Amino acid sequence: MDQIPRIFSYDGSFDGLLCAFAAADGEGLERCGFVVEGGGRPGLWPPTRVAVHAETAARFLERLRRSGGEGAVQHLVYVFLAEVQGAEPELYEFARLTLQAGTSVLGMRTNAAVRRVMDWKAKVGKEAHRCTGLLRFMELRDATLYARFEPDHNVLPLVAPHFQRRFPQDNWVIHDLRRGLALAWDGQELHPVVGVPENVDALLSRRETTFQELWREYVQALAVPERRNPALQRRFMPRRYWKHLVERPN
């Protein structure tokens, strides 16, 4: 009779996931399950609840860094931000293999878990890179720059540092509408924002409104109707991003 697999529950945070991995690895488990507390119907066997300890999470992450380098840590972070339901077992196997090997396992593409982790990481990285070029900042009346988007993955923590370097002297807010998350840069540090106004368009500066009108006229005048290629346009700029562009292509 096969042994009943252990199930660990955690609070849904990144530190919580690391603590769950540390608990499973501490018991020498090769395969086990992970669930987020309150995230679904309980199974036949209650999961083992793992408490969150920042020190435990930091130690596990440092072990992974020493074994697999920054690449292993980056893959762990990116896949967590991918928000793929049920990805924990593959991510745990990736981490466990890295710790066992004592070196990077990113060359082990024949391993299903490693391959899936690398594929998920690539999708998150691609979307984060794409969003750095597609975000449109709008000037509000108080001179704050505001940008909104609805990414498939939770790429806000990856996108914000890019604009921190790009606009270091400006005050700006990047708002993930899908998750209700926002990060602001005040010229000194990044910090989360609570309670972003719903109707931000009503707060635009007069100069911003004028620039938007001019930009739409420019894009319309520049377009050549005979060369319109909607399929190619969607290929380079998926339609789900269009509604947050100033030019709003049809």
Integer Cα distance of 16 and 36 in angstroms:
9
Question: Span 16-40, mean pLDDT?
Answer: 90
DSSP 46: P
Mean pLDDT of 123-141: 95
Please tell me the predicted confidence (pLDDT) of residue 71.
Answer: 96
CB 34 within 8 A of CB 7: yes
Among the residue ranges 12-16, 100-104, 229-233, the one predicted with the least confidence is: 229-233
| Lowest mean pLDDT segment, chosen from 41-45, 136-140, 147-151, 185-189 | 41-45
Element (H, E) at 121: helix 112-134
| Residue 78, pLDDT score | 98
For residue 226, which phi and psi values (nearest 5 degrees)? -70, -20
Whether residue 250 is predicted with pLDDT greater than 70 in this model: the reply is no
Of the candidates 247, 250, 239, the residue with the CA atom closest to the CA atom of residue 218: 247
Q: Do 172 and 144 contact (CB within 8 A), yes or no?
A: yes
At residue 105, does pLDDT exceed 50? yes
Rg (CA), the chain: 22
Residue 2 has pLDDT above 90, yes or no: no
Residue 44 pLDDT class (50, 70, 90 cuts): low
CA dist., res. 152 & res. 100, Å (int): 33
Domains of the chain: which residue ranges?
7-128, 135-244
